[in-house]
Structure formats: C-alpha cells, structure tokens
Amino acid sequence: MSIVVFDPHTVEDVDFADRMRHPSMQDPSGGMWLSDTEPSFIDTNALRKGRLAKLRAWMAKANYGAIILFDPYNQRYATGSRNMFGYFLRNSTRYFFIPTEGPVILFEYPQSYHVSTVLDTVDEARPSKLVWSSVSGRDDETVGPFADEIVDLLKTHGGGSMKIGLDRCSHLQAVALEKRGCEVKDCQGEILAVRAVKTPEEVKCLQASMAGAEAAVAAVREAIRPGVSENELFAVMYHEVIRQGGEFIETRLLTSGQRTNPWFNEASGRKIRPGELVALDTDTIGCYGYYSDFSRTFRCGPGKPTSYQKMLYRMAHDQVQHNIGIVKPGMAFREIAEKAWKIPSRFVDQRYTSVMHGVGMHGETPFIAHSIDYETYGREGHLVPGMVVSVESYIGEKGGKEGVKLEDEILITETGTELFSRFPYEDEFLEGEI
C-alpha cells in the first residue's frame, strides 16, 4: 500500500489496492463490526449492501450516471462510512462518487483513508480536491480540478449518462460540472424518499438505538431532584447515550418549570424546584447512526402533580394515543391530518409543528402537517410498510406556566403499527381525578 502525502495545491490519487482489515473487526457472521458497542445480531454486510442496492435501483430508474454525496448522513446510508461526522456536517469537503454501476470512490480527508477503506462498500479512496480550499480562500482554484476528475469518472463509469445528482455543495461545483457537459440535479429529496422505507436490518438498528435512548431517559428520570440544573440533567442523558453506544444528540431540548412553555427552549443552568415539570426530547443519533426520537415529561418531587399539570399531561397523552390509533399502512398523509386529534382552541397557537414525522438516520420524510397547516407545510403521499414515524404532542397554552411534551416512535407494518418507544408514561399524571 502506498500513500501519497497530501499537498493542497497538487493533489494526487491514493492507491489502496490492499485494504486494511483489523482482525478484531471481523464479525463471525461475515459482517464487519465498527465498534464493540454495536450489537452482533445486526448483519452489517446486509445492512450496508441493502441500502446501497436500494439507492442504485433508484438511480437506474431515474437514469442517473452517478451521484456525489457530501451529506454525512447520506454517505453513511450509502456506504456505512463515517469520519469526523460533526466536522463534515458543516464542512462539505469530503465526498463520495457513486455510479449506478461501478466502483464507489471516496474523496477523503488526508491521512484518514484507513477509517473507511475497511468497508466493502468503498472501492477506492483518493484525497479530496476541496479539503481546506474554502478556509484558504482557494475555492475558485480547486473547483476546476474537482469538476475535471468527476467528469472523467462519470464518462468512464456513468454508462453513457451525463446526469449527475448532488445532495449538497457550493454552487461553484455545480456550475463547473454543468460547464463540462453534466446535467446536474439536486437529488437530496429523492434520496430521502429512498431512505424512507427501511430494510429489515435498518429496523434492527432503530430498535437497538431506541434501547440506548430509553436507558438515557431512565437515567435522567432518576437524577431529577430539587436543585439539579437542566444542564446537569442533559449531561446525564448525553453520558448514557455515549455509554450505550450512541453518538450524539442533535438538540438540547430538556427544560423545566416555566421554561417548558413555549416548547423549543434549550437546556440551561436553571435549577429545578420541587413540583415543577421537566420535559425532554431525545433526538438521539444512536447505534449505527440511527435516530431515536421520543419525548417524555416528568415532575420533580416531592408531592403530587397539580390538577393543571394532570390536565396538560392527559391531553398530550390522548393526542399521541389517538394519532397512533388512526394509523394504517397505505393511509394518505392528508387523511391522517384530517383524522388527527383535534387540539382544543386554547392550545392551538403553540401546537407542535407536525402530527408525525419520519425517522431514520435523523428526522426524515415524511413530514405530516396538521390539517390547518397542510396547505403551507403538507405534501401528498401514503404511509408504506417499513416507514418509521414519531408521533408528536406538545400541550401548553400561550402565556401558560408550564407545558407537556410527549412523543412515541412507531414502525408501519403490513397489518398496522409496532411501538418502538416503550418508556412508560407517568402514572401519577394519569391516575385519579383531576
């Protein structure tokens, strides 16, 4: 194996004819473990190959010669590869060339090629033509070599098609490809549609991810006491997510007392007082990069919940349970919106932004809007077996003292639904009279 030292001004190919394979990474089932926190009951070969096959079937149908993936979520979906995930969420300089048929080529951050060349879905690694160009003010200089290389690959492996999809990039790259004869398409929405229906191995990943998120929420529930801060509770949750093999939490939605109303405040240094509500949303990237998204609201003891707290909680609970109950495979998104739980007028202004939304490697397609928002945010479509959705509720009136956030995650099956999030609701809110 030879590695050419990277020079940002003169980029050379890297030859990875012999892949690096660490003996401890070999799964007895024939897959490849990416870490010792990822469960062996998931066939990693089937996971990666199944996703890539789905992606390429769509590409062939849409007559794409190739796609270029800059989005780390799409890169992971297509290949199973991850590298400095947070860094590349903001810095689009690591990219994959994926033809409909032919070698998958990674354009990688220098000296980190070994991270992904262990994967059988990555055929070759080369230095990125774009790395550091933006921070060095050299985008105008790097765009030409970038486009030349991609066009050459497309002509070689594109099967005669010059149609190429880009999920995200600078306009400079898109324009440069068009000038060289490519038909450039924004394919992000199409890829999300492909990702919406999960393979059997993806379903297992989502279940494993959920188990880790539930453990994290259990740890938070146990840590709630007077005087603890929102940030301390958020740290408890983050610690347990990482300990369970998860990766990161996309939001900081953990609030208490008056900060639970309106929703979408973020965790702060506020100290929690007895009798106050504590609400959270997991928004967790867990096992194999799969999302866990459920919400719960607790109360800081001692004592018992107030009648007002019970009323808020029971309404949120009713909303989630009703909306799960109406879901059927094949159901139109608009029909779901029309049949969804009717929010009392005093809580409409601060309703959650959706009835339910897709879940996969993050919050995904579909987004099912409330009926009153449908013309603005809604889209047409149908629930399909294999989709996973989170069913949302936030109940809090404008100017109210507190609010309740509840949410559950479900799989759409051939016959109905399967509950993924099994963290129990709080009996003290649901039992007895208000």
| pTM exceeds 0.85 | yes
pLDDT at residue number 38: 58
Mean pLDDT value across residues 91-101: 94
Final residue before a domain boundary, out of 164, 179, 194: 194
Confidence of residue 244 (pLDDT cuts 50, 70, 90): confident
Whether residue 14 lies inside any domain: the answer is no
pLDDT at residue number 103: 97
Same domain, 187 and 269: no
Whether residue 15 lies inside any domain: the answer is no
Asked if residue 22 has pLDDT above 70, the reply is no
Same domain, 395 and 415: yes
pLDDT at residue number 192: 97
Number of neighbours of residue 83 by Cβ within 10 angstroms: 18
Final residue before a domain boundary, out of 170, 194, 218: 194
Segments forming the whole domain that contains residue 302 = 200-430
Same domain, 335 and 205: yes
Same domain, 239 and 186: no
Mean pLDDT value across residues 285-310: 96
Confidence of residue 39 (pLDDT cuts 50, 70, 90): low
Number of neighbours of residue 407 by Cβ within 10 angstroms: 22
Same domain, 146 and 225: no
Same domain, 421 and 365: yes
Domain count, the chain: 2
- Full DSSP string of 129-159: SSTTTTTTT-HHHHHHHHHHHHHHHHHHHST
H or E segment and range at residue 319: helix 307-326
Q: Where residue 226 sits, what CATH number does that domain have?
A: 3.90.230.10
Spacing of C-alpha 228 from chain mean position: 30
Asked if residue 428 has pLDDT above 90, the reply is yes
Final residue before a domain boundary, out of 166, 194, 222: 194
Asked if residue 135 has pLDDT above 80, the reply is no
Q: Which residue has the higher pLDDT, 117 or 191?
A: 191
Kindly give, in sequence order, each residue whose CB lies less than 8 Å from that of residue 356, ignoring residues fewer than 6 positions away.
323, 327, 336, 368, 389, 390, 391, 392
Percentage, residues of the chain above pLDDT 90: 81
Region of residue 176 (left: phi > 0; alpha: psi -120 to 50; beta: else) = alpha
Percentage, residues of the chain above pLDDT 70: 91
pLDDT at residue number 102: 96
Confidence of residue 91 (pLDDT cuts 50, 70, 90): confident
Same domain, 316 and 286: yes
